[in-house]
Amino acid sequence: MEFKGGAIIIGSLFWENKPKRIKWRQVYLETTDNKIPVNIRIRYGRKSSTRQNTFTMVISNHPNTEFGTAYILPFKEKIKNARNLESQAFAMAGAEGLWKKSKPSLNKSWGTVGLLINPKLEKSINLEIIKEHWRKIYSEYNFNPSDYTIEKEPEMINKNGFLKIEWTDEMNEFDFLIATLTVPYPKSLLTEKIIAEKINKTGYDEYFMNNYKNGIRTFQDDEIIKKLNKKPVANNAYTQWRVSTYK
């Protein structure tokens, strides 16, 4: 049994240089030169106290959430058994801050690491072993899938920790993908005006600008940019970026 796996990454997990995140990317993942852009439904939807109460990205199944661009970084090592996959997931959860000095965990009140399986694997005789192991991990958590949705949004993840997001063409070379879901707050869709006003009010634009600079995009970006005091501007043909103040 040998499978290919990877991590779906949105937001600061891709570009932020905190020690735990650097170590996770260096030890477990292929380099960013091997990143694979992937279409996924993402929006700005979680107020973050660590980012001056501006809004961070969430993966979303809401019918009004359109596709944006995230990345897949392949695992360095092949998945040979359920323990390999578990180790990858716990490593990602550690980089996200879902556990620190406590017992390794995939789940906290504000977020969780879920598993997405290539639909073509459903006939694999080895798949049930991995699925049962994953169910066992989630059975230890007081987990409520409805925490991850807002009104009129289909379920994002089931009680056993299996992601219920669309499998897109860019994912086809993988057998297993892991991704972090975060609990949306507030429990409503945010307009581009609300998102931009919070950035303008606080002056904190690092999260939005670094996402944009690194090619992590939502369907909301163009309208958000129109309302920002500071705007990302292409610097040259090599798509380097600078921030320019518009009066």
Tens-level pLDDT at each residue, the chain (247 residues): 789 999 999 999 999 999 999 999 999 999 999 999 999 999 999 999 999 999 999 999 999 999 999 999 999 999 999 999 999 999 999 999 999 887 899 999 999 999 999 999 987 777 999 999 999 999 999 999 999 999 999 999 999 999 999 999 999 999 999 999 999 999 999 999 999 999 999 999 999 999 999 999 999 999 999 999 998 864 333 243 333 333 3
Q: Which pLDDT does position 122 carry in this prediction? A: 80
Residue at token pair 């852009």: 37
Backbone angles phi, psi at 152, to 5 degrees: 70, 20
Residues 6 or more apart whose CB falls under 8 angstroms from that of 105 comprise 90, 93, 98, 99, 141
How far apart CA 57 and CA 211 sit, in angstroms, is 9
Dihedral sign for Cα atoms in the order 157, 158, 160, 166 = negative
Q: Which helix (H) or strand (E) holds 93?
A: helix 82-96
Q: Which pLDDT does position 233 carry in this prediction? A: 64
Q: Which pLDDT does position 227 carry in this prediction? A: 97
Q: Which pLDDT does position 201 carry in this prediction? A: 97
Dihedral sign for Cα atoms in the order 43, 208, 74, 169 = positive
What are the DSSP E strand ranges found in 61-175?
Answer: 67-74, 107-108, 111-117
Q: Which pLDDT does position 232 carry in this prediction? A: 80
**What length does the chain have?**
247
Q: Which pLDDT does position 244 carry in this prediction? A: 36
Q: What is the Cβ-side half-sphere exposure of residue 196, based on CA atoms within 13 angstroms?
A: 15
Q: Enumerate the β-bridge partners of residue 178.
A: 7, 115
Q: Which pLDDT does position 235 carry in this prediction? A: 39
